[in-house]
Structure 1
Amino acid sequence: MSTSPYFHRLGARTYQFADLKTLMAKATPLRSGDRLAGLAADSAEERVIAQMTLAELPLATFLQEALIPYEQDEITRLILDSHDKRAFAPLAHLTVGDFRNWLLSDAVTAETLAAVKNGITPEMAAAVSKIMRNQDLIAVAKKCRVTTAFRNTIGLPGRLSTRLQPNHPTDDATGIAASLLDGLLYGSGDAVLGINPATDNLPQVIRLVSMLAEIIDQYAIPTQSCVLTHVTNTLEAINRGAPVDLVFQSIGGSEATNSSFGFNLAMLAEAREAALSLKRGTVGDNVMYFETGQGSALSANAHHGVDQQTCEARAYAVARAFSPLLVNTVVGFIGPEYLYDGKQIIRAGLEDHFCAKLLGLPMGCDVCYTNHAEADQDDMDVLLTLLGAAGCTFVMGIPGSDDIMLNYQTTSFHDALYARRVLGLRPSPEFESWLERMGIFTQAQGLPFALAEGLPAAFEPALGRLPVRS
């Protein structure tokens, strides 16, 4: 007789799983982080048995058994206290396996998914992803429609936006400006002009915020800027009169993870209200930008024995509470200790995108890897193409795919052009109109857009101010 409600009999053998979080971990497709944490299945057979057991589990179980105790974790409290029972009602009778079949059915449309999203908890999304093939993750994510806005509209059908990421190892203004000009001339930057500062020095942050605001104003660019500093720095910058568009913060799926990052939910709420008070948006008021990544909870020793993909999905509850303009998973950035090779990175990117879209988030992906991972740019081409097919909201745009400040490999301006061209995708409508007005994009050869020949006249003065070094 089994002593656990989570068990499965296979012939004469009975597999038992101690509790729900153990079952979830054992059912997760193999990745190095779960193995490092001692949570992964011991064999492929055990993984498949765990997935079969999980498929038979009622979705309602996740409302009755918290993976991280309610009393210990404000993310658990957020998930359960904000759960929409009315939205969950159409799903309440389903098992995890039934939920997968329901999601894939032709009867379930973008409108259907929008109606139930607040009834789906992150754990439910993570659970169903664990029993889905890559093509299932792509097919369902493609159906999800999430639209946000600030100075342009992000996430419309047939659109793929980009974050123009002009990082510089010393925050040199000329180097940043050169990368910005380069990216704009390739049609990048409609998601955000976003700089990772080399330091969190507040005067430097304010200088970068002001520089980006001046460029946007000078060229009337329908986009938004963000300096990706700590939320407390951004709040202080607002208090000092800086022209902040978006508030950024890296987030995790447990209170302990976020404490290691130096913030809590109350701080995010305060910063969001401060940004809203500036009223800098023109077509919308989504003012938050969050980044996530599988492995952050484990690296902070704050995972509570929960597998890294489920911890990642729980971070989306944090994001959802603050109506962000943008969210993205920096999928391969933490390193091979958490996602060992290209296969694991590709799977994680599709999982993250699926779970976030299912929960109603404007999800993008930093399609990336570190130089010591068993991955290369061919793997990233595969993931970029799959995410484009899945309706990914935005990707990164960096000169030559190589971030010279953060020292990792990601997607270039050319990669974004490739994805848009091959998949028939376009920038956000307001930004696309600006590209055409500025002479950067043009109608040519029957294509939806093409790069214009030569440097547009409006940018010639800017190019002249950049020093030429031999």
Structure 2
Amino acid sequence: MQNEDGRGVNAPSSLVERKVSYFSVLIRRYSFRIVLESAFGRRTPEGTLVYRHTIDATTYAFPDLRDLLAKATPPRSGDRLAGIAAASAEQMIAARMALADVPLGQFLQEALIPYETDEVTRLVIDSHDARAFAPVASLTVGAFRDWLLSDAATPEILRKLAPGITPEMAAAVSKLMRNQDLILAARKCEVTTAFRNTIGLKGRMSTRLQPNHPFDDARGITASILDGILLGAGDACIGINPASDDPTVIAQLLRLLDEIIARLKIPTQGCVLTHVTTTLSLIGQGVPVDLVFQSVAGTEAANRSFGVDLALLREAQEAGLSQRRGTVGQNVMYFETGQGSALSANAHQGVDQQTCEARAYAVARAYAPLLVNSVVGFIGPEYLYDGKEIIRAGLEDHFCGKLLGLPLGVDICYTNHAEADQDDMDNLLTLLAAAGVTFIMGVPGADDVMLNYQSTSFHDALYVRDVFGLRRAPEFDDWLAQSGIVGADFRLAGDAGLLPDFASRLIA
């Protein structure tokens, strides 16, 4: 459009106005550049981005995403041990402010560990679902946090979004969240899996019955299983950590679990947590295997230290599926993870331990597991020093796992030399129950006599069931009711005659 004199309607009418207009454009462009550089800074001569944020007169610069994520992480002893933690609270806040302005798409452009040298990175990039990512592709990390906490992020939307979220995105947004944010967002994520029962349904929480014995004694293990079953535990699985790695002993334990489950007709699954190569060998020998177990980590080098790679895990999954032992589903894998595992193997590649942990979830996600368990405090105070750090890590792990679409449970635990106690575990247990944790551990007396660490007991599970009204897997709950272990309200019936009855059925 033009005025009568031919000038555009928005054109300045004088030299003064033209100068004002020119400087206004400069100011707008400069302001935009400041906002952009609060996250991205300037490019180096090599073309990589430098992330920066200014607080008062101090500008904090972070040379790459790996450093930015490490400096934005809440304090923990493992990152301090690795020499990658923020040097001050102010630097940590500056890193979070810069991280909040990073577009989510940047994590697809800048790998924390090079694509060419790490198969976990290749898995993350090659399996990324761009269509699932599309609804949030335009968001920054900070805007993604706000969206996750909004009513727009419904369980169904989050379920569809999961394949589009990379572990680095999940870790990044978690670093901007308070504990209550992690609880609220995780609670919206509903992930269900199935084998002989259905795990992860809304309003339900499962338990892994953990009947470990220091000598792998069948009678001692059976006694612990009966203890747990009569207290309503074991719907996630009955899972033994063997004291021995002798394949003959492992085979005996697998047959023991198979016999107990079959005799009592329990709708659950058994697992002996031995190395995947041992399990593969025993499957080939015809030993009954329900779930295939393996510990995994977030870098190729860390997984190599565990004696596994992605191809071996695929072979293990296929072997488990070939058994066709599930009745209501065929999720056959059980993975365990834990913050600090990559660092303990000197295989973290400069990545902070929480982001490494999230990358381990990408490994697990590729194999459609029944269960993924973050053994949050097991590795010790060198990596999570005290109750505060353990609690934070447990909430982070649960949120990141659920956001990535995993059936994440947490072994709420600590070692005897950590600055933590059972009150800290009660706190984390309560918070995770509020967050909708998929499953927890059930250990006799909360004290594992083989692994020598402190976890949660059968009674602890009953506590959160009472407080939050949480049921078990539906098939398992029905079996407990039919067996007289629980009443019509699915609370323990307290029948003292059940123990000798069940014991006689096992030794008949």
2:502 maps to 459
* Inter-partner Cα distance in structure 2 for 1:310 and 1:269: 23
* Inter-partner Cα distance in structure 1 for 2:190 and 2:59: 42
1:352 corresponds, among 381, 392, 397, to: 397
1:202 corresponds, among 237, 244, 247, to: 247
1:334 corresponds, among 379, 382, 387, to: 379
C-alpha deviation, 1:129, in angstroms: 0.1
1:248 corresponds, among 293, 311, 314, to: 293
* Inter-partner Cα distance in structure 1 for 2:381 and 2:344: 12
2:135 corresponds, among 90, 94, 109, to: 90
Q: Does 2:255 correspond to 1:221?
A: no
Q: Given that residues 368 and 410 in structure 1 are in contact (C-alpha distance below 8 angstroms), is that contact kept between their aligned partners in structure 2?
A: yes
Deviations along 1:190-229, whole A, 9 cap, x unmatched?
Answer: 0000000001100110110001000000010000000000
> What residue identity is the alignment partner of 2:90?
E
C-alpha deviation, 1:9, in angstroms: 1.5
Q: SS of the residue aligned with 2:470?
A: coil
Q: Does 2:119 correspond to 1:74?
A: yes
Q: Does 2:451 correspond to 1:406?
A: yes
C-alpha deviation, 1:455, in angstroms: 2.8
Q: SS of the residue aligned with 1:8?
A: strand
C-alpha deviation, 1:464, in angstroms: 7.6
2:353 maps to 308
Q: Does 2:204 correspond to 1:159?
A: yes
> What residue identity is the alignment partner of 1:439?
G
Q: Output the TM-score relative to the length of structure 1.
A: 0.97
C-alpha deviation, 1:173, in angstroms: 0.5
* Inter-partner Cα distance in structure 2 for 1:60 and 1:108: 19
2:182 corresponds, among 120, 131, 137, to: 137
C-alpha deviation, 1:80, in angstroms: 0.0
C-alpha deviation, 1:275, in angstroms: 1.0
Q: Given that residues 439 and 452 in structure 1 are in contact (C-alpha distance below 8 angstroms), is that contact kept between their aligned partners in structure 2?
A: no
> Which stretches in structure 1 are left out of the alignment for 5+ residues?
466-470
Q: Given that residues 438 and 458 in structure 1 are in contact (C-alpha distance below 8 angstroms), is that contact kept between their aligned partners in structure 2?
A: no
Bigger CA radius of gyration: 2
Q: Which residues of 2 match residues 287-436 of structure 1 at below 5 A? A: 287-436=332-481
* Inter-partner Cα distance in structure 1 for 2:492 and 2:443: 20
Deviations along 1:152-184, whole A, 9 cap, x unmatched?
Answer: 000001101000000000000010000000000
* Inter-partner Cα distance in structure 2 for 1:399 and 1:448: 21
* Inter-partner Cα distance in structure 1 for 2:53 and 2:337: 34
Query: 1:179/1:204 Cα in 2 relative to 1: closer, same or farther (>3 Å)?
Result: same
2:228 maps to 183
Deviations along 1:70-117, whole A, 9 cap, x unmatched?
Answer: 011000000000000011111111000000001000121000101111
1:468 maps to none
Q: SS of the residue aligned with 1:72?
A: coil
* Inter-partner Cα distance in structure 2 for 1:125 and 1:347: 15
C-alpha deviation, 1:462, in angstroms: 5.1
1:8 maps to 53
* Inter-partner Cα distance in structure 2 for 1:163 and 1:448: 18
* Inter-partner Cα distance in structure 1 for 2:232 and 2:148: 34
* Inter-partner Cα distance in structure 1 for 2:71 and 2:384: 16
2:4 maps to none
> What residue identity is the alignment partner of 1:111?
E
Q: SS of the residue aligned with 2:492?
A: strand
Q: SS of the residue aligned with 2:351?
A: coil
* Inter-partner Cα distance in structure 2 for 1:174 and 1:209: 14
1:442 maps to 487
Q: SS of the residue aligned with 1:16?
A: strand
Q: Given that residues 375 and 411 in structure 2 are in contact (C-alpha distance below 8 angstroms), is that contact kept between their aligned partners in structure 1?
A: yes
Q: Given that residues 186 and 451 in structure 1 are in contact (C-alpha distance below 8 angstroms), is that contact kept between their aligned partners in structure 2?
A: no
* Inter-partner Cα distance in structure 1 for 2:407 and 2:355: 19
Query: 1:409/1:130 Cα in 2 relative to 1: closer, same or farther (>3 Å)?
Result: same
Q: SS of the residue aligned with 2:416?
A: coil
1:22 maps to 67
Q: SS of the residue aligned with 1:344?
A: helix
Q: Given that residues 171 and 355 in structure 2 are in contact (C-alpha distance below 8 angstroms), is that contact kept between their aligned partners in structure 1?
A: yes
Q: Given that residues 75 and 389 in structure 2 are in contact (C-alpha distance below 8 angstroms), is that contact kept between their aligned partners in structure 1?
A: yes
* Inter-partner Cα distance in structure 1 for 2:490 and 2:259: 30
Q: In angstroms, what is the RMSD of aligned CA positions? A: 1.2
Q: Output the TM-score relative to the length of structure 2.
A: 0.90
> What residue identity is the alignment partner of 1:340?
Y
Q: SS of the residue aligned with 2:280?
A: helix
C-alpha deviation, 1:32, in angstroms: 0.1
2:16 maps to none
2:173 corresponds, among 122, 125, 128, to: 128
C-alpha deviation, 1:449, in angstroms: 2.0
* Inter-partner Cα distance in structure 2 for 1:323 and 1:112: 20
* Inter-partner Cα distance in structure 2 for 1:291 and 1:417: 24
* Inter-partner Cα distance in structure 2 for 1:9 and 1:350: 30
Q: SS of the residue aligned with 1:171?
A: coil
C-alpha deviation, 1:460, in angstroms: 4.4
2:8 maps to none
Q: Given that residues 122 and 314 in structure 1 are in contact (C-alpha distance below 8 angstroms), is that contact kept between their aligned partners in structure 2?
A: yes
> What residue identity is the alignment partner of 1:31?
R
* Inter-partner Cα distance in structure 2 for 1:391 and 1:317: 20
C-alpha deviation, 1:19, in angstroms: 1.0
Q: Given that residues 24 and 127 in structure 1 are in contact (C-alpha distance below 8 angstroms), is that contact kept between their aligned partners in structure 2?
A: yes
Q: After the TM superposition, which parts of structure 1 deviate over 4 Å for at least 4 consecutive aligned residues?
A: 1-4, 462-465
* Inter-partner Cα distance in structure 2 for 1:463 and 1:422: 33
* Inter-partner Cα distance in structure 1 for 2:208 and 2:272: 12
Q: SS of the residue aligned with 1:449?
A: coil
> What residue identity is the alignment partner of 2:495?
E
* Inter-partner Cα distance in structure 1 for 2:404 and 2:159: 9
> What residue identity is the alignment partner of 1:450?
L
2:28 maps to none
* Inter-partner Cα distance in structure 1 for 2:168 and 2:180: 21
* Inter-partner Cα distance in structure 1 for 2:50 and 2:413: 40
